[in-house]
Chains A and B, each alone.
Chain A
Amino acid sequence: MGAGQVLAVAADADLGAARMQMALSLGWHIVLACFGVGMPAITLLAEWRGHRTGDVAYRLLARRWARAMGVLFAVGAVSGTILSFEMGLLWPGLMGRYGEVIGLPFSLEGIAFFIEAVFLGVYLYAWDRMPPVRHMLAGVPIVVAGVASAFFVVAANGWMQQPVGFTVEGGRITDVRPWRAMFNPATPPQTVHMILAAFMVAGFGIASVYAVAMLRGRRDRYHRLGFLLPFTVAAVITPVQIGVGDWAAHFVASNQPVKLAAMEGVAETGRGVPLHVGGIFVDGEMRYSLEIPRGLSLLAHFDPDAEIQGLAEVPPRDRPPVNVVHLAFQVMVGVGFGLLALSAWLAAVWWRRRELPRTRLFWWAAAVAGPAAVLALEAGWVVTEVGRQPWIVFRVLRTADAVNPAPGLVWGFALVTVVYVVLTVATVSVLRRLARDVPVPLAPQERDVSEYKVV
């Protein structure tokens, strides 16, 4: 191997490491971000019910969740900061040229996050210094700002899928229309899909904890409500989310046909294309999959004879990896329908008997629902991001041209991985500890106030 080849191999390894590092830190942060968006609303709902009914169980739950929220928000704040560093550390080729185009949504996100942090500080630390209604009002901006943050960040990602609002002349950006870039065509379906996903992850996630408690025989009112409230929020959103997912898929079909071809493993362009369930893509064709005739044409364009573009429409160097995207898409859709079935189960039992299901199978499924929702979330982002490859900005800039040319990114990735493993272990351990803790202190964060007057 010549020196040039060695350098090229090292550069490939660095690109791979940069992509893995971004995937790791984004994939990690997104879970926290979902709780950051969804959990304040669920907590406020419990606090409001507790205030209206005087029910101790609701009031205890609100405090318990607020404590967990304090930990999750802190970790989310720092894991989110790393991402803004990494935009430059790993992808200076993207930020140096296009940073200004996506600067507006990030500036707005900064403001939203600031407001979130301010009101969270008040909400958590001044719980008992304020009358209940004022305290709940202090919680409302957290919800609004959290949802707004999600919107702005995903709008910036939408721009990477549908880059509009700028003109390049002679390799230099000459004209930017920042509002157009922010409200690019991908923004509406992507942001709505993500915000709903956040509420599902938070709702099913919190409910899972109480489903486990149910399995262990703790069926008192506190645990029942702890399950029912977040689960209901998530269950109501699930059917809506499946509709929105369909909208997002239609959008991809019309605007990123190569991504759709990878999601479905379509090699050649054709009409009346079948839907592939399962299977792997080998030697340019889909194998071992269950085929639903004309299914894809029908689903993607509401017409069984509609034309679907295949991967062959673009040269091999412009195609995303098929199997990863196909598998991730199947996982996301499968989990989504599984969660819908579980929600329907609870709804049916509740409608007939006004009580929670008794069978352990339901509680096992409910305990799995939280991790499953996280899995669907991650799978959905794999579809979005890996499906966009080899482009970092769709059809404008290749990922390989955006990466930091400095050598040794592999070592950075190794270091970051170690830190995230430790961080994961510590976070899980602390949250488990919090869940086992019996006394709830006066203000959720104040150790120095030990008196306990909720009950």
Chain B
Amino acid sequence: MTLAELMLVVLWVGLTAYVLFGGADFGGGVWDLLAGSPVGGRRQRALVEHSIGPVWEANHVWLIFVIVLAWTGIPPVFAAVSSTLYIPLTLAALGIIARGAGFAFRKASTGLWRQRLFGATFAFSSVVTPFFLGTAAGAVASGRVPPGLAEGDLVTSWLNPTSVVTGLLAVATAAYLAAVFLTRDAQRGGDPELAELFRHRALVTGVVTGVLSAVGLGVLRADSPDLFDELTSGAALPFVGLSVLAGVASLVLLWRRAYLAVRVTAALAVAGLLWGWGVGQYPVLLPGMEVEDAAATDAVLAASLGALAVGALLLLPSLWWLIGTFQRGEQGH
């Protein structure tokens, strides 16, 4: 494996972590939006706030990590993607501001109208942001971002069948992951009624996400036949298969109320799709641009990967400690 390939793997690991953890945080916002009236939805909102409060900033850093690794490891790809897709990415960036600020402000606010205002900002941007990030992913997947600066169409590159389906899939995935994670959190928090509610939602969004994935494959077949072939017959097939199996298993586990196990299978279902895409598209990053054309020099890759390896030694135990502190927290009370 070359250093450039290793960099791509690390980048994709970071992206997977962002989709799983950051995605679940966005999904929390989606459920916040759908929680209903201030009084009726109070318990749901409290659970969402309680679950994502301590961890969302750390989860959010995965995105920064992905962006930085992209411009360090494959700079021309980063430049091409961000210049052609500057409209959806600007909207996603503003959504990220609104999401984080709205969430923090609601926590610090008293008084119903302030909480509602900031809460609505948080919730609405939690739906919009993954959608735009998803359309950007769809643009790259369907080969609509050519190399060079702003060489692609500024509008149709991200407003097209693949992008729209990917955007919707991103929102559904976020909601699904959040529902799965929240089910267990509600159960551990000693609220079986709330756990039932989120179990039901997880089942529904699980089916919706599965259907959307299937529709997405159909759209891909018409829109981007090369990637479709890779996904359904090439090296990506095992990953797609894993995703399907894990998705079905999740529904079964949810049905049987195995809330801890379903966390693993739900994550596998999402990760399988993501890695299927990555493996399917490899080694082409953008139309006419392969890994070796885009990769930074070996000195840069070695220095950055080395720094990340040392950083990971500090980071992973800390992250484990953070998550452990709050996942165990309630038992002390």
Contacts and interface: CB of A to CB of B under 8 A. Distances in A.
Interface of A: 67, 70-71, 73-75, 77-82, 84-89, 92-93, 95-101, 103-104, 106-111, 113-115, 117-122, 124-126, 129, 141, 173-179, 404-409, 412, 415-416, 419, 423, 426-427, 430, 433-434, 437, 445, 447-448
Given A121-B58, A175-B297, A416-B94, A88 B79 contact: yes
Contacts of A179: 303
Contact of A88 (B65, B71, B297, B299): B71
A89 B86 contact: yes
A119 B58 CA distance: 9
Contacts of A86: 93
Secondary structure type dominating chain B contacts: helix
Contacts of B108: 67, 70-71, 430, 433-434
Nearest to A409: B86
A174 B300 CA distance: 11
B299 A175 contact: yes
Nearest to A108: B307
A309 B290 CA distance: 48
Contacts of B308: 107, 111
Interface string B292-305: 00001101100110
Contacts of A119: 318, 322
A85 B82 contact: yes
A178 B73 CA distance: 12
Interface residues of B, number: 72
Q: Which of B49, B304, B315 has the most CB of A within 10 A?
A: B304
B71 A99 contact: yes
Contacts of A97: 75, 79
B68 A122 contact: no
Contacts of B105: 71, 426-427, 430
Contacts of B156: none
Contact of B57 (A74, A173, A448): A74
Contact of B304 (A93, A103, A126): A103
B300 A103 contact: yes
A11 B181 CA distance: 48
B53 interface: yes
A406 B157 CA distance: 13
B296 A445 contact: no
B117 to A, nearest CB: 9
A404 B101 contact: no
B99 interface: yes
B264 interface: no
A85 to B, nearest CB: 4
B73 A406 contact: no
Q: Which 3 A-B pairs have the closest CB atoms?
A: A103-B72, A96-B79, A88-B82
Interface of B: 46, 49-50, 53-55, 57-58, 60-61, 63-65, 67-69, 71-73, 75-76, 78-84, 86-87, 89-90, 92-94, 96-101, 103-105, 107-110, 114, 118, 149-150, 154, 296-297, 299-300, 303-304, 307-308, 311, 314-315, 318-319, 321-322, 325-326, 329, 332
Contacts of A111: 307-308, 311, 314-315
Given A125-B326, A405-B150, A103 B98 contact: no
A404 B86 contact: yes
Given A85-B92, A113-B64, A176-B300, 7 more contacts: A84-B67, A85-B67, A87-B82, A110-B61, A115-B318, A119-B318, A404-B150
B63 to A, nearest CB: 7
A16 B200 CA distance: 52
A118 B83 contact: no
Contacts of A445: 53-54, 107
Contacts of B329: 126, 129
Contact of B83 (A70, A89, A117, A176): A89
Nearest to A73: B57
Contacts of B304: 103-104, 107, 178
Given A89-B90, A100-B300, A173-B297, A84 B68 contact: yes
Contacts of B321: 118, 122
B297 A99 contact: no
A74 B103 CA distance: 9
Given A78-B96, A88-B83, A416-B90, A104 B300 contact: yes
Nearest to A120: B57
Nearest to B50: A448
A423 B96 CA distance: 12
Contacts of A408: 154
Given A92-B149, A107-B69, A406-B86, A419 B98 contact: yes
A80 B315 CA distance: 20
B54 A81 contact: no
Given A178-B299, A404-B150, A81 B90 contact: no
Q: Which of B72, B76, B99, B311 has the most CB of A within 10 A?
A: B72
Nearest to B103: A74
B72 A93 contact: no
B149 A405 contact: yes
B310 to A, nearest CB: 8
Contact of A122 (B149, B299, B307, B322): B322
A121 B149 CA distance: 39
B331 to A, nearest CB: 11
A95 to B, nearest CB: 5
A448 B47 CA distance: 10
A117 B118 CA distance: 22
A7 to B, nearest CB: 14
B97 A419 contact: yes
Contacts of B307: 104, 107-108, 111
Contacts of A82: 93-94, 96-97
A115 to B, nearest CB: 6
Given A100-B296, A118-B58, A95 B78 contact: yes
A93 B307 CA distance: 26
A81 B103 CA distance: 16
B296 to A, nearest CB: 4
A47 B105 CA distance: 24
Contacts of A108: 307, 311
A75 B103 CA distance: 10
A409 B89 CA distance: 13
29 contacts: A70-B107, A74-B100, A81-B97, A82-B94, A82-B97, A84-B64, A85-B67, A85-B89, A85-B90, A88-B67, A88-B81, A88-B83, A89-B82, A92-B149, A95-B75, A95-B82, A96-B78, A103-B296, A103-B304, A107-B307, A111-B308, A111-B315, A173-B297, A178-B299, A404-B86, A412-B86, A426-B105, A433-B110, A447-B107
